[in-house]
Amino acid sequence: MARPRKSAEFATNAEIPTGAEEKKFKKGGKLSTAEARREYQRRYYQMHKEKAKEYQRQYNLTHKKKANGAQGRGGFTAEREVVRSTFNSADLMHAPVEKTVRMLEKIIKGERFFTM
């Protein structure tokens, strides 16, 4: 079991300095755990910002972006291939009448198979 931390280590919202107080607080006082973490992350980001930007540039050059095609009426639409090649009895029984007729026509033409 973890050792309970002392409440004095943590700063409340009223204790977190802003503006000119921050410099004084950092020099003399001790930062809370959360405040120290934020400060560390800020410094780390500032030090490695250029490296991260260069990495992003290289990544964008080597990876393809999604095609931003037109959407709506003017957009290109590709028809989906029919994955299933068979109908079963449950498909015929539970489909609406018009769809059942189309299914039977496809079975008769040989476009699809019928399985029991």
Q: Is 15 a domain residue?
A: no
Q: Is residue 5 included in any domain, yes or no?
A: no
pLDDT value at position 102? Answer: 93
Asked whether residue 100 carries a pLDDT value surpassing 60, the answer given is yes
How many structural domains are present in the chain? Answer: 2
Q: Determine, yes or no, domain membership for 31.
A: yes
CB neighbour list of residue 113: distance below 8 Å, 6 or more residues apart: 85, 86, 87, 107
Percent of the chain with pLDDT over 70: 61
Q: What is the pLDDT of residue 30?
A: 84
Q: Are 33 and 9 in contact (CB under 8 A)?
A: yes
Q: Is residue 66 part of a domain?
A: no
Residue 16 lies in a domain: no
Band of pLDDT at residue 96, cut at 50, 70 and 90: very high
- Note the pLDDT tens digit of each residue in 39-85: 999 999 999 999 999 999 998 888 877 766 666 666 666 676 656 78
CA pair distance 79, 72, nearest whole angstrom: 15
Q: Which domain holds residue 54?
A: 27-61
When comparing pLDDT for 11 and 42, which is higher? Answer: 42
